[in-house]
Amino acid sequence: MAIANLHVVADVVEVSEFPDLANRYGVRGVPQTVINESVQFVGNVPEAVFRQHLERAVSAG
């Protein structure tokens, strides 16, 4: 998504190296995705599900 759109910043974070982030987002399973601090989900989801989460994050402002 970050390849396709200039508004998107996509990060991969090795959570064991940054426990402060693991604590901040309550990471319990991986992969865990956080979009705009507002939407979180665990697991490698299909693109359509990811898109729904993205829409939810964007509409949450």
Partner 1 sequence: MSEENQREIKTIFEQLDHDVHLEFFTERESPIIIPGGNCPTCKDTRLLLQEVVALSDKLHLDVHEVTTTGEAARQQGIDRIPALIMSAEGVQGKIRYFGLPSGYEFSVLIGSLVDVSRADADLADETNEVLSKLDKGVHIQVFVTPT
Asked if omega into 31 is within 30° of 0 (cis), the reply is yes
Give the shortest CB-50-to-partner 1 separation in angstroms.
Answer: 8
- The sign one gets for the Cα dihedral 18, 4, 52, 60 is positive
**Considering the rule CB under 8 A, would residue 59 count as an interface residue with partner 1?**
no
Q: How many residues does the chain have?
A: 61
Q: Which of 1, 19, 43, 60 binds partner 1 (CB under 8 A)?
A: 1
Residues in touch with partner 1 (CB under 8 A): 1-18, 21-22, 25, 27, 30-37, 47-48, 50-51, 54-55, 57-58
